[in-house]
Amino acid sequence: MSGRPPMPQTPDEEPSIKLHEGWHCLHVYYRVNQQALNALSPEDRAQGREEVGHWLNPEREGAPERLQVSVTSGHRADLGVMMMDPDPLVIDAVCQGVRSSKLGTVLEPTYSFVSLTEISEYVPTVEQFSEKLQREGANPEDDMFKARVRGYEQRLPAMNKQRIYPDIPPYPVVCFYPMNKIRDPHANWYDLPFSARSELMAEHATSGIKFAGKVSQLITASTGLDDWEWGVTLWGRNPAYIKDIVYTMRFDKASARYAEFGPFYIGYVMSASEALEHLRV
């Protein structure tokens, strides 16, 4: 039994590639091919920069709802783009725009990750929040108890909106990695009852909240869409906080026992034109 009811589905619903709730999300990483860059005439290179600047401009008319560019450290990629939109083809159009530009041979995609925003089934409802306080010994007649429940009730809609229609925080560092919860015979997440998973996720959330104001996280779901179950996007006020939070969470049971991780991408946020300048394109 999961905590949240399934999304509304009606038998006469129109077929659509848009979601009932939430956004499509794509992380795509590019490497600069120096040979292809050397082969461009100065005119084509200038035109390519303009075209890519156009496609990767979040202010462009028709741009995805969210678009963030970063320069990636290490050999895996040079440039990262994260996009979110109700329409997956609006996101794909950016990829096709970059590919078909004069820089199309220069910017080689090296990695991508397809996912959807979601409200996790482990986000406590107001009732679950209130029950948890009572289990911890709070008295429901207390004014303090009532204030905490009311506070949660007031915060929850905005928190849920941020989970499915996220604003990107104004932090300079962005980290992305995919992850699974394992299904090993000795530790099978999917064999645990909801109550046990919920408890582990509550411990996980408590450890995450300690990084409020330093790290902001977005979990996007990818079962059926990509090779891993979730994408983890972390934005940091400083790269050290990214290291600290990921290390801290390794000790949470939900990660220590049940998580496995894919490749990590760490990048520094900038505009497309700043990124192309930095990459000497």
| Residue ranges in contact with ligand 76R by CB under 6 A | 120-123, 163, 179, 201, 204-205, 208-209, 211-212, 215, 217, 219, 230, 232, 234, 245-246, 249-250, 255, 259
Is there a contact between 73 and 243 (Cβ–Cβ < 8 Å)?
no
From 29, 111, 122, 177, the catalytic residue: 177
Burial (CB count within 10 angstroms: exposed 0-12, middle 13-18, buried 19+), residue 65? middle
CA gap 204, 215 in Å, rounded: 14
Residue 173 DSSP SS3: strand
CB of 18 to ligand 76R, least distance (A): 22
| C-beta of 17 vs 209, nearer to ligand 76R | 209
CA gap 119, 164 in Å, rounded: 6
- DSSP assignment of 74-104 equals STT-SEEEEEEES-HHHHHHHHHHHHTSTTT
| Amino acid occupying residue 233 | T
CB of 57 to ligand 76R, least distance (A): 30
Nearest one of 252, 264, 261 to 181, comparing CA atoms:
261
| C-beta of 249 vs 275, nearer to ligand 76R | 249
| C-beta of 90 vs 205, nearer to ligand 76R | 205
177 is annotated as an active-site residue: yes
Closest-approach residue to ligand 76R (CB): 208
- In terms of phi and psi (left: phi > 0; alpha: psi -120 to 50; beta: otherwise), the region of 32 is beta
CB of 252 to ligand 76R, least distance (A): 7
| C-beta of 99 vs 204, nearer to ligand 76R | 204
CB of 122 to ligand 76R, least distance (A): 4
Catalytic residues: 177
